[in-house]
Chains A and B, each alone.
Chain A
């Protein structure tokens, strides 16, 4: 049960929420700050497309790196629970990981990894959109950062809901 819940839901969702807070707000604040200090305008005037340079790269980075982070996070969570089981319940590591790998199937892992690409896309897209369209000076930068986290977090739950629904239909 532990391994299934970690791999299917807790790992992707919790790690994505943390990333929405950390990465989403960072992207929103950075692009917002660039917008209000005319750095994005300067980039455009110099003949460089700021959308490609600033937005596309960040969204690609979140799409590609979030699934990797989730895999690492899931692995650490399983190792952590193995240590606790060993210390408190006397369960050996070999037995624990045998049970873990017996319980896990491809239809637990593949949908979880697949939805994490969408989570990454959402975090990058919301952060970039809020930062890129930031207005009202420094107040706007704070607002962009704040709303990036709120909207990205909400959307993560919506996407997760859809993912669970699709998963139930397909598997």
Chain B
């Protein structure tokens, strides 16, 4: 297993990521560093490669070239078992929530615990952990409901609770507010901030919601045509005179 030292502050690093689908070069040498406790937002228009990047990050898609280093481990060289263990330190919120629709809310949240509870040495009871996760997202009453009985915002909250059940150190959010009404979107953003405070997570957030980026970001990377176009704080980018950057923050 190859170990590549990142700085003490860096928990996740992408180096020269290239990914193509046939002749479509989606990511061309993309790079980033996520620091401990930081909220890093990746913005870009639809089809710019944001979701492909985040799927490469968790090993759902294979890279063409480049390296992804999470907690000093290059995920491209890890065995499946080692990758599965590393994945327990990463929480992933899918754009469409991706709740298992044949399971209740309780079973959905319990699911990651089934395999990893013993391995991770978690001693609390499953019931306690599920209730704690649901209380963190304000949905303790929905524990026995099926996903089909939940609204879009509730589904997103349950998915967040499921992502949090193993108390990950890194949270990845794939468009967390897409498809939600403005009030629910604000609630989800507030929830993400609360989670960062409570669990002390570092977060990588993919979004094109400017409000979300304004409230939550410490730093923003603009991804255009598969490359890092510009990087900076929300204030720096929102005051940029570059027409491509301005188009996002109008």
Contacts and interface: CB of A to CB of B under 8 A. Distances in A.
A42 B103 CA distance: 14
B98 interface: yes
Contacts of A42: 92, 94, 98-100, 162
B116 A47 contact: yes
The 8 closest A-B pairs by CB, nearest first: A42-B98, A47-B84, A46-B112, A38-B98, A47-B87, A45-B92, A38-B94, A45-B58
Interface string B44-68: 0000000000010011100000000
- Which residue, A30, A33, A47, has most C-beta atoms of chain B within 10 A? A47
A85 interface: no
A34 B98 CA distance: 8
B242 to A, nearest CB: 34
Interface string B82-119: 00110110101011101111100000000110111000
Contact of B87 (A30, A34, A38, A46): A46
A37 B111 CA distance: 17
A49 B87 CA distance: 12
Interface residues of B, number: 25
Interface of B: 55, 58-60, 80, 84-85, 87-88, 90, 92, 94-96, 98-102, 111-112, 114-116, 162
28 contacts: A30-B102, A33-B101, A37-B96, A37-B98, A37-B101, A38-B94, A38-B96, A38-B98, A39-B98, A39-B100, A41-B55, A41-B98, A42-B94, A42-B99, A42-B100, A43-B100, A43-B111, A45-B60, A45-B87, A45-B90, A45-B92, A46-B87, A46-B112, A46-B115, A47-B85, A47-B112, A48-B111, A48-B114
Given A41-B60, A42-B100, A44-B60, A49 B94 contact: no
Contacts of A45: 58, 60, 87, 90, 92
A48 B112 contact: yes
Nearest to A41: B60
Grouping DSSP codes into helix (H, G, I), strand (E, B) and loop, the A interface class, with mixed when no group exceeds half, is helix
A38 B115 CA distance: 20
A18 to B, nearest CB: 23
Contacts of A48: 84, 111-112, 114-115
A14 to B, nearest CB: 29
Contacts of B85: 47
Nearest to B86: A47
Contacts of A34: 100
Given A47-B84, A47-B88, 20 more contacts: A30-B102, A33-B101, A37-B98, A37-B101, A38-B96, A38-B98, A39-B98, A39-B100, A39-B101, A41-B55, A42-B99, A42-B162, A43-B100, A44-B60, A45-B58, A45-B87, A45-B92, A46-B162, A47-B112, A48-B114
Contacts of B95: 38
Nearest to B84: A47
Nearest to A36: B96
Contacts of B162: 42, 46
A44 B104 CA distance: 19
Interface string A1-36: 000000000000000000000000000001001100
Contacts of A30: 102
Contacts of B96: 37-38
- Which residue, B92, B98, B101, has most C-beta atoms of chain A within 10 A? B98
B70 to A, nearest CB: 13
Nearest to A48: B115
A47 B111 CA distance: 10
Contacts of A39: 98-101
A116 to B, nearest CB: 28
Interface in A133-171: none
